[in-house]
């Protein structure tokens, strides 16, 4: 079971993941509880999912999936997750920034898949605030990754102004 880190603390995970079965058939939707579904599932079953009486909804995107595809659904969602098939596949970093900076996503943005300690700093700068850490990693040790660096030059979700603009603001 992966450890969930949320807002730089170890947290418990209330979300159940839902995808098509291996034979392609649609799963049955639990009546209650928090459900995180793949983009294809969301596109196939949004109506049914939205019709539930209880529980929150989330969608996860794969590296190749364009966040614009859920831009109109964001109001109905409580969680967006981005899946990293391998930690070296960096597309999700751009996806995260687009969701935050272009599509205005303010809710939980979770990194899932191959998530390790040494990527947490950059991931958090790109707007992720939750991380499902790989099995076998020391969660307490991983928390220290958020302070690997105390400053950054560029604009990012975490610090929208680049260092050169903050220097000026601080000097005034």
Partner 1 sequence: MYLYDAVDQRLVDERVAQFRDQTRRFLAGELSEDNFRPLRLQNGLYIQRFAPMLRVAIPYGLLASRQLRALAHIARKWDRGYGHFSTRQNIQFNWVKLEDVPDILAHLASVQMHAIQTSGNCIRNTTTDHLAGVAPDEIVDPLVWCELIRQWSTFHPEFAYLPRKFKIAVSGAENDRAAIQVHDIGLQALRGANGETGFRVLVGGGLGRTPVIGTAIREFLPWPHLLSYLDAILRVYNRHGRRDNKYKARIKILVRELTPEVFRAQVDAEWAHLKDGPSTLTAAEVGRITQRFTRPQYQKLEALSVHYTQALARERGFANWAGRNVHPHKVPGYAAVTLSLKKTGVPPGDATADQMDAVADLADRYSFGELRVSHEQNLILSDVKQSDLHALWQEAKALGLATPNIGLITNIIACPGGDFCSLANAKSIPVAEAIQRRFDDLDYQHDIGELDLNISGCMNSCGHHHVGHIGILGVDKQGAEFYQISIGGAQGNAAALGKVIGPSFAQDEVPDVIEKLIQTYLARRDSEAERFIDVVRRIGIAPFKEHVYGNADQKRENRNGQLAAA
25, 32, 88, 140: residue in contact with partner 1 (rule CB under 8 A): 88
7, 16, 69, 154: residue in contact with partner 1 (rule CB under 8 A): 154
Helices (H) and strands (E) in the chain, counts: 5, 8
Q: Give the separation between CA 155 and CA 44, rounded to whole angstroms.
A: 37
Span near partner 1 by CB under 8 A; candidates 8-16, 17-25, 73-81, 87-95: 87-95
Could you tell me the strand order of the sheet in which 130-133 lies?
9-11, 3-6, 130-133, 108-113, 79-84, 57-61, 34-38, 15-18
Q: Give the separation between CA 7 and CA 135, rounded to whole angstroms.
A: 19
String marking each residue 48-77 x if it binds partner 1 according to CB under 8 A: ------------------------------
14, 16, 27, 164: residue in contact with partner 1 (rule CB under 8 A): 164
Residue 77's nearest CA partner among 37, 112, 44 is 37
Q: Give the separation between CA 85 and CA 17, rounded to whole angstroms.
A: 16
Smallest distance, partner 1 to C-beta of residue 69, A: 13
Residue 73 vs 155, nearer CB to partner 1: 155
- Which residues contact partner 1 (rule: CB under 8 A)? 87-91, 93-95, 97, 102, 116, 118-119, 121-123, 125-126, 138, 148-156, 160-165, 167-168
């Amino acid at each position: 079971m992966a450890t969930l880190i949320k807002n730089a603390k170890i947290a418990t995970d209330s979300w159940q993941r839902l995808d098509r079965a291996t034979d392609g058939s649609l799963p049955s939707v639990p009546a209650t509880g928090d459900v995180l579904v793949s983009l294809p599932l969301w596109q196939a079953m949004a109506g049914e999912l939205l019709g539930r009486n209880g529980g929150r909804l989330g969608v996860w995107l794969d590296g190749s999936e364009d966040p614009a595809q859920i831009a109109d659904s964001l109001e109905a969602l409580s969680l967006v997750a981005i899946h990293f098939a391998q930690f070296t596949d960096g597309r999700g970093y751009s996806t995260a920034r687009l969701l935050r900076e272009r599509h205005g996503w303010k809710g939980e943005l979770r990194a899932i898949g191959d998530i390790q300690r040494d990527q947490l700093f950059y991931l958090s700068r790109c707007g992720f605030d939750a991380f499902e850490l790989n099995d076998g990693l020391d969660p307490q040790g991983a928390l220290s990754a958020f302070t690997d660096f105390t400053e950054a030059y560029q604009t990012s979700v975490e610090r929208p102004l680049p260092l050169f603009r903050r220097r000026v603001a601080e000097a005034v």
